[in-house]
Structure 1
């Protein structure tokens, strides 16, 4: 998956983000109740894992951090 630099609110800086994997999408659907989570990206900073959309840097309040999904 290709990564792209987007602003990360918890990191307070531009960080690399990647699209969610299938398992991560399933987790986020269950967590938020949304049908579609295709627009979301995951911060790849070592301890962050914040979720944001491509258009909205603050889609959730409080922020949602994805757990490590196996």
Structure 2
């Protein structure tokens, strides 16, 4: 998997993002009740872990971050 530089609205800058792992996808499906979460990326900035899609910087009403223990 290749990291991509994308805008992170919680960091306020362009940051590296990566695709979700299988465990992270399962967590997000349960959290959002979506059928598919293949389009999501997670910010790799230290302490951020904010979620976004490839096209939407803000796919949720507020920030949604992956828990650190996933």
Q: TM-score range by the shorter chain?
A: over 0.9
Using structure 1 for the length normalisation, give the TM-score.
Answer: 0.96
Which secondary structure state, in structure 1, belongs to the residue aligned with residue 14 of structure 2? Answer: strand
Which secondary structure state, in structure 2, belongs to the residue aligned with residue 61 of structure 1? Answer: coil
> Which residue is equivalent to 2:57?
57
Shift of 1:2: 1.2
Q: Tell me, which stretches of 5 or more residues in structure 2 are unaligned?
A: none
| Cα distance in 2, alignment partners of residues 65 and 22 from structure 1 | 16
Runs of 4+ in 1 over 4 A off after TM superposition: none
Which secondary structure state, in structure 2, belongs to the residue aligned with residue 34 of structure 1? Answer: coil
| Cα distance in 2, alignment partners of residues 62 and 2 from structure 1 | 27
CA RMSD between the two structures: 0.6
Using structure 2 for the length normalisation, give the TM-score.
Answer: 0.96
Which secondary structure state, in structure 2, belongs to the residue aligned with residue 24 of structure 1? Answer: helix
| Cα distance in 2, alignment partners of residues 64 and 57 from structure 1 | 11
Q: Tell me, which stretches of 5 or more residues in structure 1 are unaligned?
A: none
| Cα distance in 2, alignment partners of residues 64 and 47 from structure 1 | 13
> Which residue is equivalent to 1:43?
43
